[in-house]
Amino acid sequence: MTGLPHPIPYQGSKRKLAPMIDNFLPKSITTFYEPFCGSAAMTIYAAHHRRAERFVPADSLEPMVKLLRSIVETPDRTAARYRPVAV
């Protein structure tokens, strides 16, 4: 998963485990649900690898879920809305 950017990386993420977790998923998935998505590591991985036709990241923080859905569903349009911040 190296090289796949993540909008909200954090320690403890499933990001590095995603390829191993993917081995346990069914081969044919219509809708991929991630009920406690956090930073949506599995949704982003599954979307990048076209593992499903539809993705449903869910969490209790609605604004975060809306942003993550936008990243998965319309990545170019979402990226165009943000600019890098000079540090």
State the pTM of this model: 0.67
Query: What SS3 state is found at 77?
Result: helix
Q: What is the pLDDT of residues 37-76, one digit of tens each?
A: 888 889 989 999 999 999 998 888 888 888 888 988 898 8
pLDDT of residue 53: 94
